[in-house]
Structure 1
Amino acid sequence: MGSYSIAALPGDGIGPEITDVALRVLDRAAADLPALSVSVESHDAGAERWRRTGTAMTDETFQACEAADAILMGAIGLPDARHPDGREVNGDVIFRLRFALDLFAGIRPVRSLPGVPTALAGSAPVDYVVVRENVEGLYASRTGGTNVRGEVATDTIVITAKGTRKVAEMAFDLAERRNGRPLDGRRMVTCVDKANVLSSYAFFRSVFDEVADERRGVEREHVYVDAMTAFQVQRPDHFDVVVAENMFGDIISDLAAATVGGLGLAASADVGYEHGMFQPAHGSAPDIAGRDLANPAAMVLSTAMMLDWLARRHDDRAAAEAAARIDAATLRVLAKGEAVTPDLGGSASCSAMGDAIVAELAETA
């Protein structure tokens, strides 16, 4: 029997609303599978807590996240909750967990979804995954940059052979499990960099190629990041798995989400060898917080990713089944289009869309 403890961080803005939906969906899926047991403990972390206490996340909450089988995060941060140097305090939670727990790979799937109009003019199917190196790159210097007299500011990019190898290996592992790119079914890992300009990215590419040389059955290609943004719009069916440095991965994964319906549908996972954190790719949307208008799909799909990750780690068929059922129920609600939120052209509330997903799970129990 699979028994898992989950640390939930509902966070700020719409975070508590979408987390409530995700936990209801999780409870429903687990209730239908006697071999699956999931316990959830919620913790207070984020910008609102920082405003009240001066600390975004306590050591006790961090330790609870470290001890949990997985972390489920709603949305952390508010635009005006900032440190004196201008950085948003959300990094006190998100970056601390990523760096301290070595969540070195950001996994961002992007795919065409039934019933969801896209921003792309063409009809090519979209189904690829962006794998973002999460703990190095330009973001590694987020607290180590310099600002001299308000006149000169510098940050330093950090690329290591070990870190690049780890994320490249995870990208190839993922490609080996997938069905290849939509265009022709070829398994392919695309390295996105700026190796023609910066030595740090040329080094990233060289380590990627070392990993690619060790793999058989998965092809490789290289694309400069500026060209990648064009190709994501013009020929998205050419991609299967994409791997990139931290900042580039951040940018291209958001563009990827926009091409298939927006960040409200964008699930994500931050994973390492021992720990995993799952959260929607969007922010806290304080302008609609408390109005029951948020799209919970990304949060629910992230919950499915969490269960799938647990299933792979523990060879747990029940967790895998729960993940597949949550994913399928969410896609059915999107396809029907009757209980979707305003950002998807509907009039349903966040909670009502959650009710619809739960009802779909109940019908197929």
Structure 2
Amino acid sequence: MSPYTIAVIGGDGIGREVIREGVKVLEAVAGRGLALTFEEAEMGAELYRRTGEDLPRETFDLCQRTDAILFGAAGLPDVRFPDGTEIAPQVTLRFRLELYAGVRPIKLYPGVPSPLRLPAGRTIDYVIFRENTEGLFASRGGGAAVGREVAADTLIVTRKGTDRIARRAFEAALGRRRRLTCVDKSNVFRSYLFFREVVQEVGTEFPEVTLDGAYVDAMAMYVVQRPWAYDVVVVENQFGDILSDLGAATVGGLGMAPSGDIGDRWALFQPSHGTAPDIAGKGVANPTAMILSAALMLRWLGDRHKDPTAAAAGDRIEAAVAEVLVAGGTLTPDIGGRASTAALGDAVASAL
């Protein structure tokens, strides 16, 4: 089904640095029946500081007309909206494009240090399916405040939103180890009980998948104590935001954590990390999460368009990343090496 046109948006901070490596690797894997073209656009905090817009119309239009979106990172701590919240156009895109499935793979690759001491024969390889457009994030841009004394935000859980993320998660589990864990706080909050009930209802249509549940506070302990026990996790928006960062810490950090924000028509792929202004411009940011996000993008294109060439290219990128990581000669400082951002990207491109 190629050629595919990819919207490329670097954003702010290290987002601009790592996205260059993502494009570099995509260019290296293209060919053999896979044609990719790239169109660049701007959004983010620097753009807002310069123009007063964080997500201009032309960027949004590009996102709508291209086949997929490859994004770096956005937001800077000193650039905020008048209400005091940070610039986050990627979250705006989730809502406007209905990118309801936040897919966050948590995988420990050989050669990458983990702060956990895993038993012999155990590893970490699970995927978090985060509901992306409801939950506590539904209050973004809203909420209520009474002077400087009281503030409130509302958590929203709907049947439609929970049903569709649950189906995505069950479908993913069918292609993996066929276990799904629903994470919530249903012992205290009615909204989370409703979330679990809808997940359980959807589960009756997937008898091949074993469904269990965990309260979020306990789950934060379990993914440290026995992360190998998990396969696919489905979770509300805010809890998913927190657990995915915790999971990333167990597999080498956010530089090892790719993600996809996926809807029924559009999808955006980005590293889970932020703009890291403390290391921006130093050339030491880890581009692995960006490169693995590009691999996720190709697999999504392959699945959406029934294009095995695109899907295979995504697999080739992940295999090349694994080869470079286990070799160990071009690791960035965050995972124990001394290599630059570009050197790691070059190594993956060469491995292809």
Residue 121 (structure 1) shift: 2.1
DSSP-derived class of the 2:4 partner = strand
Cα distance in 1 for partners of 2:232, 2:79 equals: 35
Residue deviations 1:22-64, cap 9 Å, x none? 1011001003x2x111111010111000000110111111011
- 1:26-41 maps to which residues of 2 (within 5 A)? 26-31=26-31, 33=32, 35-41=33-39
Equivalent position of 1:183 in the other structure:
none
Equivalent position of 1:107 in the other structure:
103
Paired residue for 1:94, among 90, 101, 115?
A: 90
- 1:165-180 maps to which residues of 2 (within 5 A)? 165-178=163-176, 180=177
Equivalent position of 1:162 in the other structure:
160
Residue deviations 1:137-158, cap 9 Å, x none? 0011111101110110000001
Equivalent position of 1:184 in the other structure:
none
Residue deviations 1:85-124, cap 9 Å, x none? 221012xx11221001110000001112110110112233
Equivalent position of 1:328 in the other structure:
319
Residue 204 (structure 1) shift: 0.5
Do structure 1's residue 148 and structure 2's residue 146 form an aligned pair? yes
Residue 245 (structure 1) shift: 0.3
Cα distance in 1 for partners of 2:141, 2:73 equals: 22
Equivalent position of 2:229 in the other structure:
238
Equivalent position of 1:270 in the other structure:
261
Equivalent position of 2:19 in the other structure:
19
DSSP-derived class of the 1:294 partner = coil
DSSP-derived class of the 1:315 partner = coil
DSSP-derived class of the 2:278 partner = helix
Do structure 1's residue 193 and structure 2's residue 193 form an aligned pair? no
What code does the residue aligned with 2:199 have?
A: F
Equivalent position of 2:244 in the other structure:
253
Instruction: Check the 8 A contact 2:271/2:293 in 1, yes or no.
Output: yes
Instruction: Check the 8 A contact 2:144/2:152 in 1, yes or no.
Output: yes
TM-score with structure 1 length normalisation?
0.95
- 1:333-344 maps to which residues of 2 (within 5 A)? 333-344=324-335
Structure 2 runs not aligned, ≥5 long: none
- 1:200-219 maps to which residues of 2 (within 5 A)? 200-219=191-210
Cα distance in 2 for partners of 1:326, 1:126 equals: 20
Paired residue for 1:287, among 261, 278, 287?
A: 278
Residue 84 (structure 1) shift: 2.3
DSSP-derived class of the 1:286 partner = coil
Cα distance in 1 for partners of 2:42, 2:263 equals: 24
Cα distance in 2 for partners of 1:202, 1:215 equals: 20
What code does the residue aligned with 2:78 have?
A: D
DSSP-derived class of the 1:203 partner = helix
DSSP-derived class of the 1:36 partner = coil
Paired residue for 2:123, among 108, 122, 125?
A: 125
Instruction: Check the 8 A contact 2:113/2:336 in 1, yes or no.
Output: no
What code does the residue aligned with 1:67 have?
A: R
What code does the residue aligned with 1:43 have?
A: A
Equivalent position of 2:336 in the other structure:
345
Cα distance in 2 for partners of 1:221, 1:213 equals: 13
Aligned length: 350
Residue deviations 1:130-173, cap 9 Å, x none? 00000000011111101110110000001000000000000000
Cα distance in 1 for partners of 2:64, 2:5 equals: 11
What code does the residue aligned with 1:76 have?
A: A
Cα distance in 1 for partners of 2:273, 2:258 equals: 9
Cα distance in 2 for partners of 1:121, 1:332 equals: 22
DSSP-derived class of the 2:111 partner = coil
Segments ≥4 residues shifted beyond 6 Å: none
Residue deviations 1:168-222, cap 9 Å, x none? 00000000111x1xxxxxx111000000000000110111110011212101001
What code does the residue aligned with 2:24 have?
A: R
Residue 250 (structure 1) shift: 0.5
Equivalent position of 1:84 in the other structure:
82
Residue 67 (structure 1) shift: 1.1
Cα distance in 2 for partners of 1:122, 1:2 equals: 42
Residue 3 (structure 1) shift: 1.4
Cα RMSD after superposing both structures:
0.8
DSSP-derived class of the 1:17 partner = helix
DSSP-derived class of the 2:228 partner = helix
Residue 275 (structure 1) shift: 0.8
Cα distance in 2 for partners of 1:67, 1:189 equals: 34
Cα distance in 2 for partners of 1:322, 1:309 equals: 11
